[in-house]
Amino acid sequence: MELMGTTIHALYFKWKRSECHMPEKCGRFGICQESKCVACPSPNGLLPWSKKCSSPKLPHCSDGVAVTTDVRYYEIEGVDYFSSAYIYMGGKMY
């Protein structure tokens, strides 16, 4: 590749890689920090993470009638969300 008169054989962008970028490293609802599962959000705040960490289960509709449920989420500040820093290509993550 030619860039401003200089031949560049490879150009790499480096960023802090972490296992936290792996899809569902801590399940669908867990919080990952420095490659470790550290917490699980709950209505009462953050709880220690476990494999049982999941979003609240909502009741199913009964006889076509919607069931009202009060679901609240704990606000977590200073947390980034991303779907994935990896690309899925034919069964492999890159």
Give tens-digit pLDDT for 82-92: 555 555 555 55
* Alpha-carbon span 36 to 80, nearest angstrom: 15
In a domain, 24, yes or no: yes
Burial of 40 (0-12, 13-18, 19+ CB in 10 A): buried
The reported pLDDT for the residue numbered 28 is 84
Q: How many domains does the chain divide into?
A: 1
The rounded percent of the chain whose pLDDT value lies above 70 is: 48
Number of H helices, E strands in the chain: 0, 7
Retrieve residue 68's tokens. Answer: 């009202």
Within a domain: 9: no
* 90 falls within a domain: no
pLDDT for the residue numbered 18: 72
Instruction: Give the pLDDT confidence of 36-74 residue by residue, as tens digits.
Output: 999 998 878 889 999 999 887 777 776 666 666 666 666
Residue 15: per-residue pLDDT:
47
Q: How far is CA 43 from the centre of its chain?
A: 19
pLDDT of residue 80: 64
pLDDT value for 94: 44
pTM above 0.85, yes or no: no
Domain membership of residue 24 as a residue range: 19-56
Residue 79, domain member (yes or no): no
